Amino acid sequence: MTLKKIRLPLVLVGIVAVFTLQSHKQEEGMFPLNYLNEKDLQAAGMKLSVKEIFNSGEVALTNALVKVGGCTGSFISDQGLIITNHHCVYGGVADLSNADHNYLENGFVAKNHEMELPIDMPCRITQSYEDVSARVLKGIDDKTAPDVRATTITANIKKIREEESAKTPDLSVEVSEMFVGKSYTLFRYTLITDVRLVFAPPVTIGQFGGDLDNWEWPRHNGDFGLVRAYVGKDGKPAPYSKDNVPYKPAKHLKINAKGSKENDFIFIMGYPGRTFRHESAPYMAFQEDFQLPTIQKWYAWCIQQMQNRGKNDVNKSLAFAGTIQGYANAEKNYRGKLQGLTRTNLVNRKFEDEKAMQLFANQIGQYEKVIPTVTELWNSKKALAEKRYHYSFLNGQSNPFVAASVINSAKLGIATAKDATEKQKIKDQLKSYLTNKFQIVDVDYEMDVLQELLQRIGKFRDLKPFLGKLTVQQWMLKARKDKLTDTAWVASMLGTKIDKLLKYKSPLTELQNYLSADMQTVEKEWNSLDNQLKAIMPQYLDLKEKYKSGQFIPDANSTLRLTYGYIKRYSPNDAEVHTPFTTLRGVWEKANTASDYRLPKNVSDNLRVENVPKFFTDPETGEVIVCFLYNLDTTGGNSGSPVLDAEGNIIGVNFDRSYTATINDYAWNDKYSRSIGVDIRYVLYVIKYVGKADNIIDELGLDI
């Protein structure tokens, strides 16, 4: 596809240009592109100019970057071929798999375009940006009530999106908050929904080490996958069609297969998700004392139940696979964050900072009430947290309960609908949810989740008026017979019997009715506290800016960022030193020593190559490098980001952080913050020898 000249971001946060990057030193930084200082970058080792990285209206490195699903990807051919992580395509591969075609276990290779399979991973390519802070904050001043402020901002953002979508109907538009309540940027993206799986290594390579190695170093997994973006014959994004053609990016990355060495300068560009470095000390304390341990323990419980249910059933195991992976990733991440908060003493340091900020506020005669107000609001949230989080678990992880909630909500909506048209719209929405989103993999698992949550909820909410003389366990016997646990029955009600479904009264709909009012009250109170915090945080940030002389950058928020640093070893624990490269030799040392290191013979045989071409080996050691380690500042969303050398060539694909670097969401620490990538040569090695996909090697223009 030939595009008009793309207006890529000169700045991603235009209104905060008053902040500048300090002179070069090794420090945290998920930098919006306008924060880059060419002299600092060159002093650090960069061989590209800033214009070669991004250049408004001209082709630059940013044209090769893409947000794919919830991850980052990059174009590596002129035929729309995108490289990202295996764990990013994992759920899609699992969905495409079954007992007869287990692509998750055996891997997937498309030998030609016709063999590529549709996968639900929409791609967003940044086209342009615009500062819309004044438009978002229109009608708001310091006297505006918090709830009114929140409603106004939401309405203004909706209006902006509608207006911009009308102007640029071919683009997807999003408004991103850069600083809470202060600055907002409109981003325009080309949205490509026809994305197809091209290559996925066997899970025993892509996820070699599994949960055991997750968030750990050393690593030996080939965590990569390849997908391709397709568009209509006119070059414009279009729904899936066999007639669609590969997308032609304005730029794709060149592959550097010469390798790298310790202390080499490298950088990453991508779409890091969320960081929380400008949050208050009470926020950090809430994370450490409640949110992280509560969610971590709940996910651990759910994972164990799903694993137990899938042990002896391949199809059920595959159906649970994506959910288990997501939960396991988050569960270990939260444990790592808790460790990081303890090791770095971050919470106490935050409180010490706020004491100094309070003294400063008193001295300048401004913002004296800001920190006490923030503290009071977080104390109120903490008092409400246990009830709110367990209600959230019920609404998020119990599918039959959610179905009951949707049905009850539809009943109420129809009862107050103005006319037949509005009633039909509600029915259509109910059908859509129950058709597309309602899923029960295993009834027993769902009932175990529901019972566990009711027992927990019973500790802070009196269930006796609902249960009567029954215990939770006795009531669950009734719930297990509820027809809302039968997906086939629910499906049979979605045609002409939708009115019968709306009249259905069951144990689950009665439970939802009983809890609904309190759930709504809790959520309303929680949202009100959130709105009050959002209203005060601009003043908190103003105080911090004055106290710190303005030298800080906005938190990550899934918009394009750059981070740079070096390939670098570290010492995570006393008397423990981790060097920055792993090799194929390490795969053989781990292979089949534990279930997470499972390596079937057919995969192992393909990995063992006699007389490996020098293309794949490290010039100094002769080893096949598998993974490498570096001190860049990354977080969730950087999964799949290309790791680039000083000249902007791809040398690897970022896929994880060390366990000690899970703290990055709250603070970067050079002693503990390390990120992990798979070497591009190992990627090519697996494509050639395990996948036998010389067609892909040829597409990349490589001579091996």
690-704 exposure pattern, b = at least 16 Cβ within 10 A, e = fewer: bbebebbeebbeeee
User: Which pLDDT score, from 0 to 100, does residue 672 have?
Assistant: 82
Measured in whole angstroms, the distance separating CA 545 from the mean position of its chain's CA atoms is 29
For residue range 503-549, what is the model confidence (pLDDT) as tens digits? Answer: 999 999 999 999 999 999 999 999 999 999 999 999 999 999 899 87
Dihedral over alpha carbons 73, 61, 168, 187 (to 10 degrees)? 70
User: Which pLDDT score, from 0 to 100, does residue 26 have?
Assistant: 47
Helical ranges in 548-619 per DSSP H: 584-590, 601-607
User: Which pLDDT score, from 0 to 100, does residue 386 have?
Assistant: 95
Domain assignments of the chain as residue spans, ordered by start = 14-274+557-699, 311-321+354-547
Residue 573 near residue 39 (C-beta atoms within 8 A): no
CATH class of 14-274+557-699: mainly beta
User: Which pLDDT score, from 0 to 100, does residue 9 have?
Assistant: 31
The total of other beta-carbon atoms located within 10 Å of residue 390's CB is 21
- SS3 state of residue 255: strand
In the DSSP assignment, the letter for residue 686 is I
pTM score: 0.81
Residue 59 near residue 250 (C-beta atoms within 8 A): yes
User: Which pLDDT score, from 0 to 100, does residue 251 have?
Assistant: 95
Q: What are the beta bridge partners of residue 229?
A: 195
In Å, what is the CA distance from 68 to each residue of 12, 88, 315? 19, 9, 27
d(CA 84, CA 667): 26
- The torsion angles phi and psi of 402, rounded to 5 degrees, stand at -65, -40
- Nearest-5° angle of CA 417, CA 421, CA 426? 60
Residue 692 near residue 685 (C-beta atoms within 8 A): no
In Å, what is the CA distance from 134 to each residue of 23, 129, 539? 31, 15, 17
d(CA 98, CA 316): 10
d(CA 398, CA 378): 28
**Residue 493 identity:** M
**Residue 499 identity:** D
User: Which pLDDT score, from 0 to 100, does residue 28 have?
Assistant: 61
**Residue 60 identity:** A
312 burial via Cβ count (<10 Å: 0-12, 13-18, 19+): exposed
User: Which pLDDT score, from 0 to 100, does residue 668 have?
Assistant: 87
459-493 exposure pattern, b = at least 16 Cβ within 10 A, e = fewer: eebebeebbeeeebeebbeebbebebbebeebeeb
The total of other beta-carbon atoms located within 10 Å of residue 577's CB is 9
For residue range 52-106, what is the model confidence (pLDDT) as tens digits? Answer: 998 877 899 999 999 998 999 999 999 999 999 999 999 999 999 988 999 999 9
Would you call the peptide bond into 218 cis, given omega within 30 degrees of 0 as the criterion? Answer: yes
User: Which pLDDT score, from 0 to 100, does residue 250 have?
Assistant: 94
Instruction: Return averaged pLDDT per consecutive 10 residues of the chain, 704 residues in all.
Output: 28 30 52 82 93 86 93 97 97 92 96 96 88 93 90 94 92 90 89 97 96 90 98 94 96 93 96 93 97 96 93 87 86 90 92 96 96 98 96 94 95 92 93 90 94 96 95 95 93 89 94 96 96 94 87 84 94 90 97 95 95 93 96 94 98 94 87 93 98 97 90
d(CA 529, CA 375): 12
Best CA proximity match to 371, nearest among 276, 277, 281: 281
Residue 688 near residue 607 (C-beta atoms within 8 A): no
Check the CA dihedral 200-203-208-211 and report its sign: positive
302 burial via Cβ count (<10 Å: 0-12, 13-18, 19+): buried
d(CA 562, CA 642): 11
d(CA 72, CA 639): 6
What string of DSSP letters covers 45-58? T--S-HHHH--TTS
